[in-house]
């Protein structure tokens, strides 16, 4: 077993490169001290990181706590949460990981003491963002409320780590947390997915991996809706049985056609389209369930009585709870789907702003844009 | 054990009085044959029946199947589902009930063969309304899709019966099914209610009994919101710890004030106010759950992203599934609350139209308006 | 849509061949009337049927109801429940299946009216065996309490049918219900199987398919224990990551070795060895779960306090509830594993006693012995 | 809000009185430093503490870790976990409690990082006992693996505290954690207790409070079995509907008689009698559930196949998970039952050995023996 006292083959510098938020939409490369892992934490040398829609919101609008508090950009915050790397230093009491381990990460480290955390719902921690000042409850949401991964190093609690399976490359490993969110969405819908019909709305990264995980768990049929044929085709490669381009067919009618009028058991809404809930309500059969993953940008008119009339359950989720990332990693390890398919572009550490531009504007069909922090 | 073959002290006539739907809002008293119980069914002599909001919708707008199918009122349909009475005849194979048993009723008899029924979700039966013609799947929703209780007799499957506890009068017994819906709402929220905070929005009959059942199960605090002080005061007698008149205080702010900023664990939305879901989303803490019971009459603008951001679950329910009526009857038998408090008016069989008017227009503070089919 | 009224390409004779129980261990071929499907039932022309350990118990000891009631063999009962065939006649109200459909079957048709059935637990029906005489509640357990499939025809309620996926042969289709039991065992353990460690004890048919289904759902690692290397090797082909021959290594120690001392999350006990529960308790980690599928033939000394000390849950199951057979069929349809591997022998209708002998005595490495009722 | 920096009305000495384990069965009064609360911890001045069967095991046989490791008594360990007291000092980051708050305690503080803790199952922490040395994971089981409450002061993590409701005396407050275990047992059985039949075997403190909590949640009927009429009578006062003295009637037959042959839905086994599981299996109806709370002292012959045949689930539990103590405290606050009934004797701090003797030998009908650490 490796302990902090063993000889460490990794030389850890005192300072590191880190991108930080500047004015809205602006990222600036700076120098920061390398953080030190505390008890139950490790220092991760970041090898690769992907952009997520959440990053785009943060970079353009500021971190969640700032948004809610109305404060300006803090000028020193490092975003980025879909990263992977190598454990290079262990904090006190860590024996779950060994120096040299390749790890992917989860976002949420719950406070461990609120009602939600005590019930295992650490992505719903009631002390979200409480990791500063006199009310420090220890909560961390890496890249959201604490420094993230567009940097050479980051500190992670062991609860936010998962081993990268052997044979999985750095780029693909950045997608494990995305697959974890997809897994959590399906868990939330009840988990007994085999042989059940599933509609995934929105072929973004989470939507595509919801198709992949859903099919890996045996969902049948898996229907994917979206606006771009190129992405829908990727969905087919990842396991979708039916593709619906909403520009050419009404998605609700398509689901009814494919299911011979019955509707689907489950909907995972990943489009963030304000009408996603409305469409979902019309896609599911009576007693059906909808998981909302995408963030709708604006309110929308909803016929709430439909939920009552058809006994529909709706689950908003955030993050990747219930250790879903570990279970997702197991599917990746077993090669149940090829997550690499959604990785479209790779940039270097110094090109983060360009990578951001590709990701935000979906240039050249960009889905997952990965930054290799460390060239290998 | 009593069987159909035993001598029967109840003389059953060939025909009976029954109110039927006429034009919208019109009820007409007519004569019908007394129905015959089939296998697993009994004939109930109806002793008392209460009006429910669902009845008002049906009487003014037609039965659900008709509404969806666009058909006219059928002129022969008897509404009414909150009834109780006496078992006077047993169909084949019935030994769960004995002639002379006093029974209250549930609405839903599922087809028993669709996916939902097989999973125990009989109030979400996929063959809802399929009890006629070549596609008869045997589903019954008494007073919704099959004849109900504004009549001298009705047929009920044994699955839709529950024994009236000793010492409970006819009027109170009509409320057992209402308490069953309240129980089902709380079940749906997870069932571990003791010591959890609960807001009930809308002090109608189901809302008031949600307060009563929630408090009986140990919820703390129980907050009731509404527009009428008289009803709120009833809520207090049934167990509410805090009353909020939404005409004088914003209900969301009140819930935050009462819970010292934390919000509640659970909301049961019974007002049918289109904004009920919006208020509920702002009342619950992160990770909270909302059960929608009331039917909102019109669409409303909803900020769907809030469900995602705060990891909120929303459960639309219909009816009183999971045998909740039996569990509610047990609480009534144990005198855990005084359901009689919400019974405000009593009418005779011939005065059903007047009872309907009182119930619909809430004349004289009417909450539960009961019709005594049989004078005792 | 096909109805009973359509012209039927299948000529149905008045009588049929059927094997019936004679004295213990004796089967006799006789002639019986072809049964008629009632409401919600179909007539299945049986094409193939497999022997199950349950059949062996029934043939040697009598049907369950007889065993409990102490009655002699009834001389007219036809056993057999792992059959498949072709729908040749529809009872009233059936539109879920069409004449000509190939179907596999489940065992249990619940009464639909007891507490368990109402809750969706139809394999725990409280009216098990109540399908005769004045207390007929309609329950059927095909091949257990009502006539089964060692005959040319059998009646099945639509609830006990599942479509045979395209391209699946008759022999393999008889194994769908076995896979359904394996699926139900895993459902009962919680359903979130991906990435969780699973030990299956006993490489009989259900054990081997528990390996297959568990791996299909992503369990990792899957450990199979048993006494015969030949069967363990089959387990490997079906997805087991580790094989333990209990003749050469203590299975508890092997599980601890493989899991580096941690123990497994889940155990599915299929050996029927009296010590199966004891071993399972020592194999699971704290908070682990054990599903008992095998029937132990005799009592055994158990250190019950271990269940308390290690917070272990134990689930006895019978049959294939929660529509698990449908979900299992979906995995078969998706070719997630090759169930044919456990089919070892095929006999003709007239050779049922020989097939029984092979199955009971495991002659020539017999696992699943299939009888082709109808030669194709 | 109170913080550690506020002026503290409580003078905290440097040392304190503490009872420690000596040789088996021996307790010795000594002096220890008053411990210091760390982050997320508080210092509790202990006001009262009750003896539990677990204490008796520890005092006679040593703490669990020692028992398993075969080590001698450690001579410096302070047992006792059913205590209550007053918060007198706050560790860093604590604002959930204020100096002067009266608190009762739970036993288990999970490591927060193992799979079980992450899933909310902190009483099944995989790092149980790991709170010393290089593998310190921070787990604490107060009075089991870390110093407990037979002392003037103890440190508690905020997760192991619950507010004492207003108006509840010190002695009664020591019983809140016992009621928490009873609540957790019922939670584990599914939580929907109202109107369900419940047998509690063994009228010890947990058994009696299982009766009380079960009845408070609406169980009907509640049957209590035991050997002493005096304790059974207490059970009646706490809500039991039926009492069975197993010396005069076979408890299984009694349960069948009371339930008219049906058996009960749920059994909570609190007797620790080796046959408790066997009796429970015969008491529950098909599909029933048994929660094992009592520790059987020796193995017993069990007919495991019954669990399979009757689809029975068995749940071993330890401690009071799922924040059950908070929910139990809410019932105490609402005066749903009179926990004081099971408090039989009170001793002074210096008389702990005598209190231990009363508790172990059940002298003078002792049930809960309370030591007032501080005289008021």
Interface of C with D in 256-285 (CB under 8 A): 262, 274, 276-277, 285
Does the CB of A105 have a partner CB in chain C at under 8 Å? no
Is A4's pLDDT higher than 50? no
Q: Which of D218, D220, D222, D323 to mutate to test the interface with B (most CBs of B within 10 A)?
A: D218
- The pLDDT of residue C66 is 54
Of B128, B295, B301, the CB nearest to A308: B295
The count of residues in chain B is 376
Token pair in block for residue B107: 């609405």
CA distance D171 to D344: 10
A162-167, long-range: CB within 8 Å, 24+ apart, which pairs?
A: A162/A103, A162/A104, A162/A105, A162/A106, A162/A325, A162/A326, A162/A329, A163/A97, A163/A101, A163/A102, A163/A103, A163/A104, A163/A329, A164/A84, A164/A102, A164/A103, A164/A104, A164/A329, A165/A329, A165/A330, A165/A332, A165/A333, A166/A333
Q: Which of D120, D191, D319 to mutate to test the interface with A (most CBs of A within 10 A)?
A: D120
Task: Answer whether D124 sits within 8 Å of C286, measured CB to CB.
Answer: yes
Of B296, B299, B312, the CB nearest to A316: B312
Is B330's pLDDT higher than 70? yes
Stretch (H or E) spanning C267: strand C264-269
List pLDDT tens digits, range B310-320: 999 999 999 99
Q: Which of A197, A287, A303 to mutate to test the interface with B (most CBs of B within 10 A)?
A: A287
Residue of D nearest to B188 (CA): D192
> Which residues, including other chains, have CB under 8 Å from residue C80's CB and lie 6 or more apart?
C19, C49, C51, C55, C143, C148, C149, C150, C151
Task: Answer whether A183 sits within 8 Å of C196, measured CB to CB.
Answer: no
Of C187, C194, C336, the CB nearest to A330: C194
Does the CB of D335 have a partner CB in chain C at under 8 Å? no
| Inter-CA distances, C91 with B158, C36, C37, C88, C96, Å | 24, 8, 5, 10, 11
Confidence of residue B65 (pLDDT cuts 50, 70, 90): low
| Inter-CA distances, A342 with A176, A338, A365, C152, Å | 12, 8, 10, 53
Task: Answer whether D308 sits within 8 Å of C297, measured CB to CB.
Answer: no
Mean pLDDT of B337-363: 97
Q: Which of D304, D310, D314 to mutate to test the interface with C (most CBs of C within 10 A)?
A: D304
Q: Which of B374, B375, B373 is nearest to B78 (CA)?
A: B373
- The pLDDT of residue B7 is 72
Residue of C nearest to A187 (CA): C192
Does the CB of A169 have a partner CB in chain D at under 8 Å? no
- The pLDDT of residue C135 is 73
Run means of pLDDT, 10 residues per run, chain D, 376 residues:
63 97 92 96 98 93 66 80 98 95 97 96 93 81 94 98 97 98 96 94 98 98 97 98 98 98 98 96 98 95 96 96 97 97 97 97 97 89
Task: Answer whether A137 sits within 8 Å of D3, measured CB to CB.
Answer: no
Q: How far is C361 from chain A (nearest CA, A)?
A: 35
Is B3's pLDDT higher than 80? no
Encode burial over D179-207: b for 16+ CB neighbours within 10 A, e otherwise: bbbbbbbbbbbbbbbbbbbbbbbbbbbbb
Q: Which of A118, A162, A187 to mutate to test the interface with D (most CBs of D within 10 A)?
A: A118
Task: Answer whether A302 sits within 8 Å of B123, measured CB to CB.
Answer: no
- The pLDDT of residue A65 is 62
- The pLDDT of residue A2 is 44
- Which residues in D lie closer than 8 A to residue C317 (C-beta atoms)? 308, 311
Does the CB of D115 have a partner CB in chain A at under 8 Å? yes
Q: What is the DSSP string of B263-320?
A: -EEEEEE-S--TTHHHHHHHHEEEEEEEEE-S--SS-EEE-THHHHHTT-EEEE--S-
Residue of A nearest to D119 (CA): A120
- The pLDDT of residue A1 is 42
CA distance B304 to A297: 9
pTM of the entire predicted model: 0.96
Alpha helices in chain D (DSSP H): 53-61, 64-69, 115-118, 170-173, 176-188, 205-216, 229-237, 251-258, 276-283, 305-309, 324-333, 352-361
Angle between helical axes of A229-237 and A205-216 (0-180°, round to 10):
30
List pLDDT tens digits, range C220-275: 999 999 999 999 999 999 999 999 999 999 999 999 999 999 999 999 999 999 99
Token pair in block for residue A37: 């892992």
Does the CB of C217 have a partner CB in chain A at under 8 Å? yes
Residue pairs between chains B and D whose CB atoms are closer than 8 Å: 60
Mean pLDDT of B281-302: 96
Of C287, C301, C306, the CB nearest to D300: C301
Confidence of residue C191 (pLDDT cuts 50, 70, 90): confident
Phi and psi at residue B314, to the nearest 5°? -125, 130
Does the CB of D301 have a partner CB in chain A at under 8 Å? no
List pLDDT tens digits, range C6-20: 578 899 999 999 999
Q: Please, which chains are in contact with C (at least 3 CB pairs closer than 8 A)?
A: A, B, D
- The pLDDT of residue B4 is 46
Report whether D346 contacts D372 (CB < 8 A). yes
Of B183, B194, B331, the CB nearest to D327: B194
Token pair in block for residue D221: 């009927």
- The pLDDT of residue D296 is 92
Is A347's pLDDT higher than 90? yes
Q: Does the N-terminal peptide bond of residue C221 adopt cis geometry, omega within 30 degrees of 0? A: yes
- Which residues in C lie closer than 8 A to residue A218 (C-beta atoms)? 216-217, 327, 330-331, 334, 336
Least confident stretch, B144-153, C29-38, C56-65, C237-246: C56-65
Report whether D133 contacts D71 (CB < 8 A). no
Of B297, B311, B315, the CB nearest to A124: B311
- The pLDDT of residue D71 is 54
Does the CB of B330 have a partner CB in chain D at under 8 Å? yes
Is A3's pLDDT higher than 60? no
Report whether A62 contacts A169 (CB < 8 A). no
List pLDDT tens digits, range A191-247: 789 999 999 999 999 999 999 999 999 999 999 999 999 999 999 999 999 999 999
- Which residues in A lie closer than 8 A to residue B295 (C-beta atoms)? 305, 308-309
- The pLDDT of residue B130 is 84
CA distance B212 to B182: 9
List pLDDT tens digits, range B83-129: 999 999 999 999 999 999 999 999 999 999 999 999 999 999 999 98
Q: How far is A25 from chain B (nearest CA, A)?
A: 22
Three-class SS of residue B83?
strand
- The pLDDT of residue D6 is 56
Confidence of residue A59 (pLDDT cuts 50, 70, 90): very high
- The pLDDT of residue C71 is 54
Q: How far is B309 from chain A (nearest CA, A)?
A: 6
- The pLDDT of residue A130 is 84
Does the CB of A135 have a partner CB in chain D at under 8 Å? yes
Interface of B with D in 187-216 (CB under 8 A): 187, 190-192, 194-196, 216
């Amino acid at each position: 077993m490796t302990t902090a006292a063993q000889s460490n083959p990794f030389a850890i510098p005192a300072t590191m490169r880190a991108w930080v938020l500047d004015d809205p939409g602006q990222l600036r490369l700076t120098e920061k001290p390398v953080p030190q892992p505390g008890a139950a934490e490790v220092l991760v040398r970041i090898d690769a990181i992907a952009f997520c829609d959440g990053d785009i919101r943060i970079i353009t609008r500021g971190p969640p706590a700032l948004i809610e508090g109305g404060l300006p950009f803090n000028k020193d915050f490092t975003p980025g949460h879909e990263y992977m790397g190598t454990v290079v230093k262990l904090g006190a009491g860590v024996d779950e990981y060994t120096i040299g381990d390749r790890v992917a990460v989860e976002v949420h480290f719950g406070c461990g003491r609120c009602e939600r955390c005590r019930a295992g719902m650490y992505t719903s921690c009631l002390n979200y963002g409480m990791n500063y000042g006199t009310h420090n409850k220890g909560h961390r949401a890496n890249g959201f409320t604490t420094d993230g991964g567009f940097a050479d190093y980051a500190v992670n609690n062991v609860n936010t780590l998962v081993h990268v399976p052997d044979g999985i490359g750095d780029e693909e490993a950045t997608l494990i947390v995305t697959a974890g969110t997809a897994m959590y969405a399906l868990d939330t819908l009840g988990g007994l997915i085999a042989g059940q019909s599933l509609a995934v709305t929105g072929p973004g990264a989470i939507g595509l991996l919801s198709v992949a995980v859903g099919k890996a768990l045996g969902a049948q049929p898996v229907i994917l809706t979206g606006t771009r044929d190129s992405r829908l085709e990727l969905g087919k490669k990842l396991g979708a049985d039916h593709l619906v381009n909403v520009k050419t067919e009404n998605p609700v009618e398509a689901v009814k056609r494919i299911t011979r009028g019955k509707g689907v058991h489950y909907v995972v809404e990943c489009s963030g389209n304000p009408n996603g809930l409305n469409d979902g309500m019309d896609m599911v059969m009576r007693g059906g369930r909808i998981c909302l993953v995408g963030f709708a940008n604006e309110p929308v008119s909803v016929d709430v009585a439909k939920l009552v009339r058809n006994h529909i359950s709706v689950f908003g989720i955030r993050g990747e709870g219930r250790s879903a990332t570990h279970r997702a990693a197991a599917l990746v390890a077993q090669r149940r789907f090829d997550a690499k398919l959604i990785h479209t572009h790779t940039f270097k550490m110094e090109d983060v702003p360009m990578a951001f531009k590709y990701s935000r504007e979906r240039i050249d069909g960009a889905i997952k844009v990965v930054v290799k922090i460390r060239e290998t």
